[in-house]
C-alpha cells in the first residue's frame, strides 16, 4: 500500500500497487511524485520504488471511458435512490402551487378544461413554476460548490471529473451535467414529453459497465462514493 503527496500538498491513499499504477496511467501521479510505502517513514520519488521503476511492471493501458483512478463508482441502487430523493424535493416544491390550483378548480366547479377560468388558476401555476425553479437553482448551487445535489448528499455520492477524480465544479457538474440536460424539460412548456423521454434514456445509460449516464458522457464526469 502506498500514500502520495498530491500537487495540492495533501496526502492521498493508502492505495494498492494496482491502483497507483492506474493513477500513473491516468496522469494523477508521475514518477517524481513524493510517495511513502506502508511501514516506512521516508518519503521518496514514486519512481524509486521497484514496483513503479524500471524493474516494475509497466502501468496498464486505460481504455477510453474507463475509470482511470482509484475512486469507487457509485452503485446503481444508491444513484437511483438519490434520483428519487431529488424527485421528491421537486414534488414538494411544486405542491403548494398545485394545491392552490386544485382549490380554485374545485371552487369553480369546473369539470373540463373549457370550464376552467385561466385567470383564477394562474397564481397557482406561477407558484408551481417559482417553486420548481427555486429547487433547480438550489441543486445547481450545491453541484457547483460541493459537486453534490440533495439526493447525493443523503446517500453519500459526489460528481467528479473522469480524468482526475477532482470535484467537477460549476462548468462540468452544474452546467453541462445538470442544467443543459434538463433544459428540454421546459421547452416549450413547464414539463414536456420529449424531456421526460430523454430522462428515461439518460437513466438507461447507467447500466453501462462504467455506470456513466448520458449527461456524464456530455460533461466528462462520473459519480463516485464519498
Residues of the chain with CATH 3.30.1490.40: 2-48
CA distance 168 to 175: 10
For residues 138 and 90, is the Cβ–Cβ distance under 8 A? Answer: no
Express each pLDDT in 184-216 by its tens digit.
Answer: 777 666 567 777 788 888 889 988 888 899 999
Residue 116 has what pLDDT? 77
CATH 2.20.25.90 fits 2-48, yes or no: no
Question: In 171-184, which positions are buried (b, 16+ CB within 10 angstroms) versus exposed (e)?
Answer: ebbbbbbbbebbee
CA distance 226 to 219: 19
Taking 70 as the pLDDT cut, the residues of the chain under it are 53-70, 113, 187-191
pTM metric for this prediction: 0.64
CB atoms closer than 10 angstroms to residue 4: 20
Cell numbers standing for residue 207:
447500466
Three-class SS of 144-164 = HHHCCCHHHHHHCEEEEECCC
CA distance 62 to 220: 16
Residue 56 has what pLDDT? 43
Residue 190 has what pLDDT? 55
Residue 101 has what pLDDT? 87
Cis peptide, bond prior to residue 188, ω within 30 of zero? yes
Amino acid at each position: 500500500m502506498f500514500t502520495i503527496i498530491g500537487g495540492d500538498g495533501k496526502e492521498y491513499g493508502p492505495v494498492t500497487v494496482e491502483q497507483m499504477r492506474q493513477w500513473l496511467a491516468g496522469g494523477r501521479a508521475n514518477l517524481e511524485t513524493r510517495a511513502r510505502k506502508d511501514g516506512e517513514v521516508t518519503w521518496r520519488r514514486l519512481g524509486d520504488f521497484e514496483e513503479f521503476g524500471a524493474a516494475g511492471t509497466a502501468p496498464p493501458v486505460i481504455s477510453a471511458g474507463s475509470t482511470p483512478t482509484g475512486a469507487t463508482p457509485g452503485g446503481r441502487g444508491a444513484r437511483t435512490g438519490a434520483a428519487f430523493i431529488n424527485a421528491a424535493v421537486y414534488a414538494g416544491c411544486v405542491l403548494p402551487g398545485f394545491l392552490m390550483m386544485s382549490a380554485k378548480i374545485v371552487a369553480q366547479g369546473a369539470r373540463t378544461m373549457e370550464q376552467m377560468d385561466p385567470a383564477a388558476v394562474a397564481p397557482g401555476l406561477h407558484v408551481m413554476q417559482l417553486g420548481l425553479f427555486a429547487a433547480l437553482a438550489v441543486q445547481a448551487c450545491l453541484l457547483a460548490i460541493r459537486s453534490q445535489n440533495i439526493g447525493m448528499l443523503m446517500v453519500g455520492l459526489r460528481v467528479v471529473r473522469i480524468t482526475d477524480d477532482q470535484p467537477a465544479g460549476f462548468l462540468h457538474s452544474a452546467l453541462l451535467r445538470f442544467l443543459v440536460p434538463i433544459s428540454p424539460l421546459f421547452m416549450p412548456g413547464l414539463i414536456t414529453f420529449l424531456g421526460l423521454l430523454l430522462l428515461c434514456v439518460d437513466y438507461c445509460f447507467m447500466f453501462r459497465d462504467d455506470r456513466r449516464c448520458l449527461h456524464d458522457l456530455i460533461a466528462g464526469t462520473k459519480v463516485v462514493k464519498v
